[in-house]
Amino acid sequence: MANKQLHKKATQDSLLKDLIKYRWIYILALPGLLYLLVFKYVPMYGVTVAFKDYSSRLGILQSPWVGMKHFMRLFASRDFAILLKNTLFLNVYKIAVMTPLAMVFALCLNAIRNVYTKRIMQTISYFPHFLSWVVISGITFQLFSPYSGTLNQILIKLGMQPMTFLSSPKSFKTMLVVFGAWKELGWASIIYLAALSGINTELYEAAQIDGASKLRKTWHITMPALIPTMVTLLLIDIGRIMSVGFEQVYVYLNPILYEKGDVFATYVYRVGLGQGKFSYTTAVELFNTMIGLVLLVVANKISKRLTEESLW
């Protein structure tokens, strides 16, 4: 160990010398670093306004400290339980639906023999990923419109009542999950397809000789190869569990749906920027980030023990 470090010191220049020798390559990094400093690291320091009473006249640094006041207000507020429930439930719902669906979709794509058919299916299924939620909301409002939408036209022709589930609080979360799956399913399967293409084909040949059926091969060779990818993606999802999807919720939300559909991100936007309660909503966001980080660390620890997969 000590030897190795000594060796390292001998072959590498001292810090200052390195900086001078490679100054031009470091200068290339400057604009990017400046960006990170101003728009990523200063806001990280900016979370301190959660413990202050921010006033735009005094700025982030000069505003007076108030301790945990804003957090207390959040925990005591009636909105808190609703927001926590909606955010967690929506994201768990999403993860529970999307994870198996993306794997199955990748397997289905992979099972297509004809290269052209496969490519066309991929091209089509990746496409919605590139559209904004504003556009998708426009399309869905049109398709599911109670008067002229295709779906309700069919229902009316069949003699049934038109459905209004886009504006119904009951089906709000399911609708978001379904539209989310529709948009991201193809895209989410890319990473699994990559894992599939990395499987050693000799394994299948060996199984073939041993007389394994296609189903058994899928179960004993393909699935175990996908598990590490799935666990990694799951961990990333869990880390983001509190923060996902402002735009998706925002474009479908209206005051009637707040009770069932309002999540932390939309609340922060509405109350923070709309009503100018900067300190309070920063506290809301910080609480969010912290929960996300704790969940990530815990999930990572569990995963390390069970599957030996870890993000770090």
Partner 1 sequence: MKAYKETGAEKAFTILNLTLLSLFSLTILYPFAHVASSALSANDAVLGGMVTFFPVRPTTEALRQLLVHRGYQSAMANTVFITCVGTLMNLFVTAMLAYPLSRKNLRFSKVLNILVLLPMFFSGGMIPTYLVVSTLKLTDTYWAYLLPSLVSPFYCLLLRNFFASIPKELEESAIIDGAGYGRVLLQIIMPLSMAAIATIALFYAVDHWNVFLGGIMYINDRKLWTLQMFLREMISQSEHASELAEGGSAFVSLESLRMAAILVSILPILCVYPFVQKYFVKGVMVGSVKG
CA distances from 202 to 221, 223, 224, 300 (A): 11, 16, 15, 32
CA distances from 121 to 102, 109, 208 (A): 14, 8, 28
Contact stretch for partner 1 (CB under 8 A) within 79-87, 88-96, 167-175, 239-247: 239-247
Helix runs in the chain, H state only: 2-11, 15-21, 23-36, 42-46, 59-62, 69-76, 78-111, 115-126, 133-143, 150-157, 172-197, 201-209, 214-217, 223-239, 246-252, 258-261, 264-267, 275, 278-307
Sign of CA dihedral 254, 259, 265, 269: positive
Nearest distance from C-beta of residue 119 to partner 1, angstroms:
9
- Residue 289 within binding range of partner 1, rule CB under 8 A: yes
Per-residue contact string for residues 208-237; x = within reach of partner 1 by CB under 8 A: x-----x--------------x--xx--x-
Nearest CA-CA partner of 176 in 119, 244, 240: 244
Per-residue contact string for residues 148-177; x = within reach of partner 1 by CB under 8 A: xxx-xx------------------------
Contact stretch for partner 1 (CB under 8 A) within 66-74, 76-84, 87-95, 261-269: 261-269
Q: C-alpha angle 249/253/258, rounded to 5°?
A: 105
Report helix, strand or coil for 135: helix
Give helix 78-111 / helix 115-126 axis angle, nearest 10°: 170
Give helix 78-111 / helix 172-197 axis angle, nearest 10°: 40
| Near partner 1 in 33-52, by CB under 8 A | 33, 35-36, 38-47, 49
Interface with partner 1 (CB under 8 A), residue total: 97
- Residue 266 within binding range of partner 1, rule CB under 8 A: no
- Residue 281 within binding range of partner 1, rule CB under 8 A: yes
Contact stretch for partner 1 (CB under 8 A) within 70-78, 105-113, 168-176, 255-263: 105-113
Contact stretch for partner 1 (CB under 8 A) within 78-86, 92-100, 164-172, 187-195: 187-195
Q: Which residue among 79, 128, 155, 258 contacts partner 1 (CB under 8 A)? A: 128
Nearest distance from C-beta of residue 98 to partner 1, angstroms:
14
Pick the closer one to partner 1 by CB: 65 or 130: 130
Per-residue contact string for residues 69-98; x = within reach of partner 1 by CB under 8 A: ------------------------------
